[in-house]
Amino acid sequence: MTISAKHLRHFERRLRRLRAALVHRSMQHDREAYEISQSREDQRDDLAACASLEAFALGIVGRDLHALNEIDDALDRIETGEYGMCLLCGHDINRSRLEALAHAQHCISCANWLADQPRTNDRAG
Ligand SMILES: [Zn+2]
């Protein structure tokens, strides 16, 4: 572990800000999905369009929830002193990679390897 306490605090603040923004955005999308499902009752002619809009809004919530889980995991790893270590190979994750993706779980070579594997297209970091 080569991340200093100062940098850990920096990443922890960043993760908490990111988390707050995601929660806020998820709540907005939940409301949008709710409003779309309500308006569906009034506009039965436009059912198909409403259904796809609803799926769109819920899809964004699903991705945000996934990111939220990864952020919570990263905050846990700060607590346990494992933050910044690749979950796959155990090597340090490059600092600039963490700056770009504070909740990154894998070093760049493992992330690239995972991206090349079939059926792992939801592994973003
Ligand atoms: Zn790795």
Cα of 110 to ligand 1 centre, how many Å?
Answer: 4
Distance from the alpha carbon of residue 85 to the mean position of ligand 1, in angstroms: 8
Q: Confidence band (pLDDT; 50, 70, 90) for 9? A: very high
| Ligand 1 midpoint to CA 83 (Å) | 13
Say how far apart CA 70 and CA 116 lie, in whole Å: 20
> Which stretch, 31-35, 41-45, 49-53, 119-123, has highest mean pLDDT?
31-35
**What is the spatial distance between Cα 1 and Cα 59, in angstroms, rounded to a whole number?**
36
Each residue's pLDDT tens digit, 50-68: 667 676 766 767 778 888 8
48 band by pLDDT with thresholds 50, 70 and 90:
low
Instruction: Check residue 15 and give its pLDDT.
Output: 96
* C-alpha–C-alpha distance, residues 7 and 34, integer Å: 40
Contact present, 2 and 94 (Cβ < 8 Å): no
Give the model's pLDDT for residue 50.
65
The larger pLDDT score, comparing residue 44 to residue 116, is at 116
Task: Copy the structure tokens of residue 98.
Answer: 């963490």
Residue 81 has a CB neighbour count (10 Å cut-off) of: 11
pLDDT tens for 65-105 read: 888 899 999 999 999 999 999 999 999 999 999 999 999 99
Measured in Å, residue 88 CA sits from the centre of ligand 1 at 5
Rounded to the nearest 10 degrees, how much is the dihedral formed by the CA atoms of 83, 86, 90, 92? Answer: -70
